[in-house]
Structures are given as structure tokens and as C-alpha cells.
Amino acid sequence: MKRIVIIAGIVVVVLLGAVAAVPFLIDPNDFRPMLESKLSDALGRQVKMGNLGLSILRGAVTAADLSVADDPAYSPRPFVQAKSLKVVVELWPLITSRQLIVTGLEIDQPQIVLIEGANGEWNFSKLGGNTAANKKQAEAPSEPPGKPLDLSVKLVKITGGRFMLSRAGGHFQPLVLEQVKAELRDFSNTSEFPFSFSTKVLGGGDIKLEGKAGPINQDDVATTAAGASLKVTALDLADGHPAVEGGAPAVSLSFTAR
């Protein structure tokens, strides 16, 4: 029995040593071109990331910063800029075969600019539509033409976000949403998925949204079907003035958008 315990202890020490050595054997920046390429194909926009780090205990690859290009018809500035991006991965394939399998995305403090065009379309309407990855799959002889690429992630999370909503070519004061928190669970662009969203409106008010959305409309992301419950508290959108002193009562409602 004592010999078995000693052998087991040696095995544990060896395994721990192997895990501890992984960050020195694998440079996560080797995966950066592949990550940027896959995300660019998935979004149909150029994606750039900063220096990558690897956390074995958390099973994550982290990027120092993230930038996603906007639709050039709307703006030359980035659509998304974020302080950091954490890509949660499956450790065993990464350690044994240097294969990167993504299971989650966490974006910290993103600055996202949402612009509505004169025709009613948004700068994110074509996000992910007609991407290179979709085109390749549609052209493959084994796949029916036009079949969308199924992009699945267990968790997509945004924390500390700042969203700015505006209209192209207008003189409207942008609506600014602060402290945005959002989660998409069991996300797939080809099926329904649950989501939650909460934010504070600059000038006063809170918005909370929970429901389900999907599948993603490949032709216009903004028209994707969704059903949710909405809770609005002390909201005042008039010229960005603060909410009514003392706070307006909370308003709750449910809706379905098609």
C-alpha cells in the first residue's frame, strides 16, 4: 500500500510539473494569426488583437486589446475596441496537439459604436453575413449551397461596456449606455440561445433585458427574431437630461420581435 501511495504521489508531481511547464513550451502568440483569421471570417470584419498570454489554471488565452473594424459605409473608425479579450479554450487538445478549441469569449470594457443609416439599416446589420467562411462552405460540393456556418460558443460575456447609439448624417445627440453587462449562453448562429443584458443610460435610468434570440438572420443581424422581458427604471431620453428627480417608477414589459 505504501508503495502505491508513493507511486501515485510521483505521478501527481510529474503531472503538475508538466502543466506548470506548458506556458514555457507554448507561445500563445503562435495562435494569434489563426485567431484573428477565424474571428475575421466569422464576423466579416477585420479583427486585430494585442499580445497574447496563456493561463493554464483558467484554461484561457488572453489578449491585451481587441479591435473590430466597422462597415466602411458607416465609419472608418473601429466598430469595437476593448481593453482585453479572454478566449476560454479546452486545455487537453491545446497541450497534446496544440489544437485551439474555443468554448467561451469574455470581452472587458468594450467601446461599441452602433450607427443607424438613413435606410434604417445598422452598421451591424451585415455582421457575420456573407463571410468568407460561409462562402467556402457554400462552395463545398458536400454541403448544400447557402448553408450558414454553425458557430457555437458556450458563453459570450461582455463586462464594463460602453455603447454609443447614433444616426448617420444626422444631428441627433447620441444615446450612451454605460456599464453594459451582457451574456449569451450556448450561443449558436443557427439556433435559439438565451441572453441577458443590463445597462445604465448616461443622464439617468437603468435597462434590463432577458430572453432568447435566434437563429441569427444571415441577411440582416438587426432583424434576428427575439423574445424578451424588459425592465426600465427612471429613464429620461429627452436631450440627455438626467432622470426625473427622485426616480421614475420601474416599468416592466415583455415583447417578441420578428
Written in H, E and C, the secondary structure of the chain is CHHHHHHHHHHHHHHHHHHHHHHHHCCHHHHHHHHHHHHHHHHCCCEEECCEEEECCCCEEEECCEEEECCCCCCCCEEEEECEEEEEECHHHHHHHCCCCEEEEEEECCEEEEEECCCCCECCCCCCCCCHHHHHHHHCCCCCCCCCCCCEEEEEEEEEEEEEEEECCCCCCCEEEEEEEEEEEEEECCCCEEEEEEEEECCCCEEEEEEEECCCCCCCHHHCCEEEEEEEECCCCHHHCCCCCCCCCCEEEEEEEC
**β-sheet bridge partners, residue 208:** 198, 231
Specify the pLDDT at position 14. Answer: 40
Quick check: 36 pLDDT over 70? Answer: yes
Which residue type, as a one-letter code, is found at position 256?
A: T
User: Mean pLDDT across the stretch 95-124?
Assistant: 84
**Which region holds residue 117: left if phi is over 0, alpha if psi is between -120 and 50, else beta?**
beta
Specify the pLDDT at position 174. Answer: 83
pLDDT digits (tens, 9 = 90+) for 172-185: 788 899 999 999 99
Cβ-proximal residues to 111 (8 Å cutoff; 6+ apart), any chain: 80, 81, 82, 161, 162, 164
**pTM given for the model:** 0.71
Quick check: 235 pLDDT over 80? Answer: no
pLDDT digits (tens, 9 = 90+) for 39-55: 888 888 999 999 888 77
Distances in whole angstroms, Cα of residue 107 to Cα of each of 28, 82, 235? 18, 7, 27
Quick check: 249 pLDDT over 60? Answer: no
Q: Band the pLDDT of 34: cuts 50, 70, 90.
A: confident
Which of 47-61, 67-81, 125-139 shows the highest mean pLDDT? Answer: 67-81
